[in-house]
């Protein structure tokens, strides 16, 4: 088994997940900056030219970071990071998707449509990036209201993949100059709780 | 238990899923066109003002269509629509996400940034919509190459939620004038296979 991974938020999500599960997987570094993810050899693994990619021993391929995490959840159920019964599994799915669709996608749009790194990779619309940039603090403010009930983690009492996704959103915001607004006390407490975990250094 | 749902691709995905599972859930119609999803009473159910929303008997709330489907997968495992072992569950997650991130998101961007319905709901960037519109046939062409191995469904031999998502992309494309290119034989066969299921009339 090999995990092809490298820079960027999606590989980071998988590395944190593996560290939380204490799973050791051989890794192949894919140099995103050198475009190794678009090389013909790599495109045979993932026709979308994206990392991470999990290559199983029988050469079966799993792409998409959450799909890779789900594979390891199945093979190493403890500690559960996708919930442990019907309601908690649905809540984790809900909060992982809310983190992705509300926060991750907005920060991602800013980066994709304004950062020099993506200039030759897609048609950038800087005005769209600016609209999205102004929306980012509002998205965190929404999460702050949602966390006002004092629960420790997004989906409830237990740390889950939803916290990994949202925590990586905070990290991604730092990278692209969109820090979490300091006035949001609930998000701040949650973020410190997540970032102080040993897995964060993954 | 009540499913708050209405127009649009996400409620449709859940209705198809329920019909595949032969689960009967009382439904509350939310009139998207009248803005009922933004009414104060509804925002108490889902602060994002989006449908569908599943309200359980103890008043617990599940939002996000795939999270709602996952709840029903847990409570009604047969027939499995999220895979049945570690690899197939990961493959279904992978293909559902690929359908969402590659095709659904692109068609969605065209609709959001060009359709009159969304004019007062967000800042539209028509040039972005046009770039995305031109990309849609390329996304289907990518899927056509992926299906060239002759497998009947996106994640393999079995129909899954990934086929529901991608099938609803085809439907959404029809609604917004972006039909699947007729030259894509593999996608065409797969699409006919999916649309001929009884669940499609959900």
Counted residue by residue, chain A has a size of: 202
> Which contiguous run of DSSP H or E holds residue A200?
none
Mean pLDDT of B46-69: 97
CB crowding A24-50: b at 16 or more within 10 Å, else e: eeebbebebeeebbeeeebeebbebeb
Percent of chain A at pLDDT exceeding 70: 100
Query: Has domain B2-75 been given CATH number 3.40.30.10?
Result: yes
Q: Is the pLDDT of residue A32 over 90?
A: no
pLDDT at position A133 is 97
Q: Is the pLDDT of residue A94 over 90?
A: yes
Mean pLDDT of B152-171: 98
Percent of chain A at pLDDT exceeding 90: 97
d(CA B178, CA A188): 43
Who among A70, A85, A145 is closest to B90 (CB)? A70
CB A69 within 8 A of CB A13: yes
pLDDT at position A139 is 98
pLDDT 10s digits, B80-135: 999 999 999 999 999 999 999 999 999 999 999 999 989 988 999 999 999 999 99
| pLDDT band (50, 70, 90) for residue B33 | confident
Which chain B residues touch A81 with a CB distance below 8 Å?
Answer: none
> Which contiguous run of DSSP H or E holds residue B2?
strand B2-6
Q: Is the pLDDT of residue B189 over 90?
A: yes
Residue B72's alpha-carbon distances to A99, B1, B8, B55, in angstroms, are 22, 12, 20, 13
User: Is A68 in contact with B90 (Cβ distance < 8 A)?
Assistant: yes
| pLDDT band (50, 70, 90) for residue A33 | confident
Mean pLDDT of A150-179: 97
User: Which class is A86-200 in CATH?
Assistant: mainly alpha
| Of the candidates A132, A142, A52, A137, the residue with the CA atom closest to the CA atom of residue A98 | A142
d(CA B118, CA B125): 11
The three-class DSSP label of residue A132 is helix
The three-class DSSP label of residue A39 is coil
d(CA B175, CA A169): 33
CB B162 within 8 A of CB B100: no
Copy the structure tokens of residue B61: 């709330």
pLDDT 10s digits, A134-145: 999 999 999 999
For chain A, give the mean pLDDT.
97
pLDDT 10s digits, A39-57: 999 999 999 999 999 999 9
Which chain A residues touch B131 with a CB distance below 8 Å?
Answer: 123, 125
| Of the candidates B155, B160, B153, the residue with the CA atom closest to the CA atom of residue B199 | B160
> Which contiguous run of DSSP H or E holds residue B10?
helix B9-21
DSSP A58: T
pLDDT at position B80 is 98
**Extents of the domains making up chain A:** 2-75, 86-200
pLDDT at position B130 is 97
Mean pLDDT of B62-89: 98
Q: Is the pLDDT of residue B32 over 90?
A: no
Percent of chain B at pLDDT exceeding 90: 97
- Among chain A, residues having any CB pair with chain B shorter than 8 Å are 47-48, 54, 56, 60, 62-64, 66-68, 70-71, 74-75, 85-87, 89-91, 93-94, 97-98, 101-102, 123, 125, 127-128, 131, 142, 145-146
């Amino acid at each position: 088994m090999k995990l092809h991974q490298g820079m960027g938020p999606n590989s980071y999500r998988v590395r944190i997940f593996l560290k939380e599960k204490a799973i050791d997987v051989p890794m192949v570094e894919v140099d995103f900056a050198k475009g190794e993810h678009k090389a013909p050899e790599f495109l045979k693994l993932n026709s979308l030219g994206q990392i991470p990619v999990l290559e199983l021993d029988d050469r079966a391929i799993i792409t998409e970071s959450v799909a890779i995490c789900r594979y390891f959840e199945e093979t190493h159920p403890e500690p559960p990071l996708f919930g442990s019964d019907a309601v908690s599994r649905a809540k984790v799915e809900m909060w992982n998707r809310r983190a992705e669709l509300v926060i991750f996608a907005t920060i991602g749009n800013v980066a994709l449509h304004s950062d020099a790194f993506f200039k030759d990779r897609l048609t950038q619309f800087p005005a769209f990036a600016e609209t999205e940039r102004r929306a980012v603090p509002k998205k965190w403010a929404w999460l702050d209201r949602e966390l006002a009930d004092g629960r420790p983690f997004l989906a409830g009492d237990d740390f889950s993949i939803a916290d990994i996704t949202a925590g990586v959103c905070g990290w991604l915001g730092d990278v692209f100059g969109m820090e979490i607004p300091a006035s949001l006390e609930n998000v701040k407490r949650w973020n410190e709780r997540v970032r102080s975990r040993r897995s964060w250094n993954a």
